[in-house]
Amino acid sequence: MKNLLFNSIMVKKIESLYGLAFPEFKALMKKKGETEYRAIQLFSWIYKKNVSDVGSMYTLPNALKEKLISSFVFSPLTQRSVCISKDGTIKWAFCLQDNNVIETVYIPGEGKNTLCLSTQSGCALYCKFCATARMGFRKNLDVSEIVGQVMFVIKEIKRDSINHIVFMGMGEPLLNVKALLKTIDILTHKEGLNFSRRRITVSTAGYVPGIRVLKGASQVNLAVSLNASCDEKRSFIMNINKKYPLNVLFESLDDYYTDKRRRITFEYVLLPGFNMGEEDVQGLARLLNSIPSKVNLIPFNIFPGSAFRSPTEVEVNAFADRVYNLGVSVQVRRPRGSDALAACGQLGASHFAYE
């Protein structure tokens, strides 16, 4: 029994400064007998100047620095590997303190440089077309593990090289909504990284209770992975549709739109032989024309053992034209980073090599 207790103390995780939102910095300073101004100083050392060594924060008094050093760590992540694709996309795999693995992807583009973050290690939704599903669900990330991804990447490539953040990596962000919202508060804080909420997108498979929470809490963009336009097909590839079918999902999206007046983005993974026929085009147009929206068509990215094939360029363009002709705002997402298994749905595909 004593040993057990000793072990549990030994493995207790030390808190990371990346897990605290600005009001918590203020409370922490108060507890340590410091003024509120110290919270601004510390926050901007961490997030504006990206310093991760308390010892070098020369504007802070030594006694405070010592207290911080003995109570906190910075990043809870260590780099496991990095893959750079021919098109400039970079994928990092990180090891967490509990040995779980997550991945983060940077996608440079003309004027739009996107950082794609994971919110869970693995995923509990088991969508049939997604590599992350193969990992199973490992855990919800805590705030420091999500913020830590951003802080790691901006040490490698500068803060100004990122102008868009998408929660579209491993996992379902709205199943970890508390950590997600706190992370967004940290990333958008004026005394810190100061990302604009309008340049942050949360992508969901359609977890309706989470959409309702997001509606009440944040001004970020919402993307919904639709992938099929009738319940039968959607439930076949996405289990979540059995619990939250299309009419329930769209009701929550209508509410979301009424409240926010922001166009919803839909994602539609193109799976030849499954969701690219005439009835799919008609169904997709009917759904999308029912709400102010646009759709990103994502050609299926293959991964080892996947059951679908990628569509040809001709198939992709023909589908896009047919949808466009029915009045839908449509964009084709050309695959990025696929040679590094960094494209949509490929995260975790190389994970088994870690075990």
**Residues designated catalytic:** 103, 344
Site for ligand SAH in 217-276 (CB under 6 A): 225, 227, 267, 269
The conformation of residue 312, written as its DSSP 8-state character, comes to P
Q: How far apart are CA 206 and CA 225, in angstroms?
A: 7
- Of the candidates 21, 156, 184, the one whose C-alpha atom is nearest the C-alpha of residue 77 is 156
In this structure, the dihedral spanned by the alpha carbons of residues 106, 220, 133 and 305, taken in order and rounded to 10 degrees, is -50
143 or 269: whose CB is closer to ligand SAH?
A: 269
Instruction: Say which residues have a Cβ less than 8 Å from residue 7's Cβ, sequence separation at least 6.
Output: none
State the binding string over 268-307 for ligand SAH (x if CB under 6 A, else -).
-x----------------------------x-xx------
Report the alpha-carbon distance of residue 331 to residue 156 in Å, rounded.
Answer: 31
- Rank residues 16 and 201 by Cβ distance to ligand SAH and give the closer one: 201
- One-letter amino acid at 197 equals R
* Contact residues for 23 (Cβ-Cβ < 8 A; gap 6+): none
Number of residues interacting with ligand SAH: please give it, by CB under 6 A.
Answer: 16
Given the complex with ligand SAH, which of 211 and 285 has the nearer CB atom?
211
Neighbouring CB atoms inside 10 A of 23's CB total 10
- Please report how close the Cβ of residue 286 comes to ligand SAH at its closest, in angstroms: 20
CA–CA gap between residue 220 and residue 240 (Å, rounded): 23
Cα 120 to the center of its chain, rounded Å: 9
Give the nearer residue to ligand SAH in terms of CB position, either 29 or 228: 228
Asked if 294 and 331 touch (Cβ cutoff 8 Å), the reply is: yes
The minimum distance between CB 74 and ligand SAH, in angstroms, equals 27
Rule CB under 6 A: choose which of 153, 222, 344, 351 binds ligand SAH: 344
Window of 59-67, 180-188, 200-208, 318-326 that interacts with ligand SAH by CB under 6 A: 200-208
The 112-151 contact track toward ligand SAH, x by CB under 6 A, reads: -----------------xx---------------------
The only residue of 205, 222, 230, 295 in contact with ligand SAH, by rule CB under 6 A: 205
Closer CB to ligand SAH, 43 or 308, in the complex: 308
Q: How far is the CB of 205 from ligand SAH (least distance, A)?
A: 3
Query: Site mask, ligand SAH, residues 28-47, x = CB under 6 A?
Result: --------------------
Whole-number Å distance between alpha carbons of 169 and 116: 6
- The residues near 215 (Cβ < 8 Å, ≥ 6 apart) are 252, 255, 256, 259, 260
Residues of this chain that interact with ligand SAH (CB under 6 A) are 129-130, 168, 172, 203-205, 225, 227, 267, 269, 298, 300-301, 344-345
